[in-house]
C-alpha cells in the first residue's frame, strides 16, 4: 500500500514499551498483551520492548484550576510522569545493525520522532542505504524529511484499513484463538 510492489518486506520490527495500569483504565495492560500476542502470530514480526519509568515530579498547573480543585498557592502539583525508556534507543540500534548487513538495500522507519534523524542519516550516508520514513503523525517533520531518502506522512485513514481480524487462531495446531477486545471495536 505504501511501498512499491518491487519491495519485499523481510522483517517487521515493532518497538514498544509495556504499558502500566492507569486508575482510569484498569484493562490497558491486558489489551496491550492481547495485541502483542496477536502480532506475534504474524510471520516475520519481531517485538522489541522497552519499559515505562514512573517519576513523581512537581509540575506547573496548565490553567487556572477550578474552584473545587486544591492547588497549592505556588501553582505546582505533584504528578506521576510516565517516561518511555529504551524504545528509541532500541530502534536506533536495530536500524544500525540492519544497515550494516550487506544484503539489506532499503530500510523503512515508521516514526515522527526527530530524535531519529541521526540514525537515519547514518544509515543513509555511512552505510549507503535507502531509508524510507513514514510519519504516523499529522504534522510534517522537516528534519525527518530532509534526512530520509523518501518521506511521507501516513494517510490518516490507513490504520483503520489495516486492522487485524477480530479472531486470530494460534498455537501449534491453530486450535486456540485470540479475540479482539470489545474496547477496540
pLDDT band at 61 (very low <50, low <70, confident <90, very high): confident
Q: What is the pLDDT of residue 66?
A: 65
The arithmetic mean of pLDDT across residues 44-62, rounded, is 89
Average pLDDT of the chain, as a whole number: 88
CATH superfamily to which 86-154 belongs? 5'-nuclease (3.40.50.1010)
**pTM confidence score:** 0.82
Q: What is the pLDDT of residue 149?
A: 97
Closest CA to 86 of 18, 17, 14: 17
Contact status, residue 143 vs residue 114, Cβ threshold 8 Å: yes
Helix segments in the chain, DSSP class H: 28-39, 87-99, 117-121, 142-147, 158-161
Q: How far is CA 28 from CA 35, 131, 165, in A?
A: 11, 33, 20
- Asked if pLDDT for residue 52 goes beyond 70, the answer is yes
Amino acid at each position: 500500500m505504501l511501498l512499491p510492489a518491487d519491495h519485499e518486506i523481510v522483517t517487521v520490527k515493532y518497538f514498544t514499551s509495556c504499558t502500566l495500569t492507569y486508575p482510569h483504565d484498569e484493562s490497558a495492560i491486558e489489551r496491550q498483551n492481547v495485541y502483542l500476542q496477536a502480532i506475534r502470530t504474524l510471520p516475520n514480526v519481531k517485538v522489541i520492548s522497552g519499559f515505562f519509568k514512573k517519576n513523581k515530579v512537581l509540575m506547573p498547573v496548565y490553567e487556572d484550576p477550578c474552584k473545587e480543585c486544591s492547588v497549592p498557592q505556588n501553582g505546582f502539583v505533584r504528578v506521576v510522569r510516565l517516561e518511555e525508556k529504551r524504545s528509541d534507543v532500541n530502534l536506533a540500534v536495530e536500524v544500525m545493525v540492519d544497515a550494516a548487513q550487506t544484503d539489506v538495500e532499503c530500510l523503512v522507519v515508521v516514526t515522527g520522532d526527530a530524535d531519529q534523524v541521526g540514525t537515519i542519516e547514518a544509515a543513509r550516508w555511512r552505510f549507503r542505504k535507502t531509508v524510507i520514513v513514514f510519519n504516523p503523525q499529522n504534522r510534517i517533520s522537516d528534519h525527518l524529511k530532509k534526512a530520509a531518502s523518501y518521506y511521507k506522512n501516513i494517510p490518516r485513514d490507513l490504520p483503520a484499513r489495516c486492522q487485524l481480524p477480530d479472531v486470530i487462531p494460534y498455537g501449534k495446531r491453530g486450535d486456540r484463538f485470540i479475540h479482539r477486545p470489545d474496547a477496540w471495536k
